[in-house]
Structure 1
Amino acid sequence: MRPSSGLWLVLALMALWEVSARLHWVDSPNWPPLSTVVVALFHDIASGELPPLIGGTLWRMGAGLAAGSIAGVVVGLAFCLAPVTRLLLGPAVELLRPIPVPAIIPPLVLFLGLDDPMKITVVALTAFFPVLTNTMQGVAAVEAEAVQMGRTFGVGPLRRAAFIVLPATAPYALAGVRVALGLSLVVAVVAEMIAGEAGIGHYLVMMQFAGRAPEMYATIILLAVLGYALNRGFVAMERRAIHWWFALGRQADG
């Protein structure tokens, strides 16, 4: 497989990073060569320092993503299929939606402390909104004829939602989960940076305070690679889960 133009750009930027540090184009002790950063990355992984931190961050991210995604699908279906729920919960959802994530963390710390429940809750709230929005779009796109056919054959409301509406909405909901996946990693790291005592976000801040630039940049590179791998893995899973959707000519950006 030939490298894409995007890959060549990444390689060129990496080469520019190495050269700019070696030739002192950026004359700063906080701009180490890329090769030094890579050595620091492999050292921290081999020493066993980074893997448990990454594992903890991924666990918190995954728990929050799962909780927020499930809630987003359930509430999205309820908003569309039982309009009274939208009348009751809609204003609260719209009030919470525009609040920046860092602004949510301090009150959650007061109620939940600095441990995992706070971080998982922040991630869940972040994941909830894109999944909710996409689920509602999916329900709106369901063909009315399919729902009417279910009514004609005597299928009850709950069975129609489970066996007609939900499968037709799945591609939209998964698109929302894919958006939430990237946001969840970012928010999990931010929560650990602001109010954390563990995790890769806390480690990143500690490296900054200690003036250990190679380790700090190594952590950022690791997060970039991790985010890319999670996205690619989710795309592969999505293609398997809703293969019929792509068989109809739908596309998913890689």
Structure 2
Amino acid sequence: MRELSPIIALDFASLEEVKAFLAQFPADEHLFVKVGMELYYAEGPAVIRYIKSLGHRIFLDLKLHDIPHTVESAMRVLATLGVDMTNVHAAGGFEMMQAARRGLGQQARLIAVTQLTSTSEEQMQSDQNIQTSLQESVVHYARLADRAGLDGVVCSAQEVGLIKEATQPDFICLTPGIRPSGSDIGDQKRVMTPGQAAQIGSSYIVVGRPITQADHPLQAYQAIKQEWSGHDQ
């Protein structure tokens, strides 16, 4: 399974900025967008309702990580918003991920963050005291998420093959850190182009600044979509 539209990261600080950005796309261009912490904490459910009113799909990227009861209760609330996908931190553990699944039910896809694409192996080992390779850590978290009943994980495209081997073919591998050839990688450490992510088997890709900060966002989106989906043609 591969989603043929890239997920656009709406990394804006306000609903007004979101409205101005989305107004640059045709009304019949149904997008898949990511709402992260900054935007959701600033605007709350109102931004979700607005985006859904336009017919777009939403990945609500809040990375819940708390005790199982709290995460389950929070997921029950998120289930009422009508989002299409949301996530937790796999580091919260097996029981927490099971609780998240119970709270959300089957109304939306639930995935887990393995290791952030801004994290290098050296940082993981020194900051988190995880004394394995980065790939081993990611695959371990993916297996744990699969056992807990989640639909997939957030991971670097570089780990997709290993995760597919360790889980199942339809296990979602959503990959941020996607940059068109020649673009600035920003604060990401492990990046790939849309075409490379398609070839390696990513299920979804997330693209932010190369679209949202482009001089012509629609054209940038269409070019990235073509590179990502064109590998099926």
Q: Is TM > 0.5 for Structure 1 vs Structure 2?
A: no
Q: Which has the higher strand share?
A: 2
Larger Rg: 1
Task: Return the TM-score normalized by structure 2.
Answer: 0.26
Whose RCO is larger (CA < 8 A, sep 6+)?
1
Q: Which has the higher helix share?
A: 1
